[in-house]
Amino acid sequence: MSVIVGELHLTIKNKYKQMKTILVEIKKDIALTFLQNLESMKILRVIEDKAIKPRQKLSERFSGCLSKERVEELQKELTQMRNEWERV
């Protein structure tokens, strides 16, 4: 048994004939065969995504979004709130 490293997008029609695309990670070969069988029965459509994008850390994604002044303001407010909790 080999593990498939990769992801695929599935497009599924719901009862209102609307299409919904979901991302699925395949862990076993049999799962891919199962999905391909469902595709042959026209239950779903398998769309293989060739370009697998590495996940970006949230710290990298939001780095630099706030100005230094705003960060200092938030830090002061946070310290003030913590002090108020300690007094209670």
Q: Contact 28/53 with Cβ under 8 angstroms?
A: no
Residue 4 has pLDDT above 50, yes or no: no
* Residue 61 reports pLDDT greater than 90: no
Q: What is the mean pLDDT of residues 63-67?
A: 86
**How is the beta sheet containing 19-25 ordered, strand by strand?**
19-25, 7-13, 44-48
Q: Which of 3, 7, 20, 4 is nearest to 48 (CA)?
A: 7
Query: How far is CA 70 from each of CA 11, 22, 88, rounded to the nearest angstrom?
Result: 43, 37, 28
Please give the residue that has the higher pLDDT: either 39 or 24: 39
Tens digit of each residue's pLDDT (9 = 90 or more) over 18-34: 677 777 778 888 888 88
Q: Where residue 1 falls among pLDDT bands split at 50, 70, 90? A: very low
Give residues with Cβ within 8 angstroms of 7, minimum separation 6: 23, 24, 25, 26, 49, 52
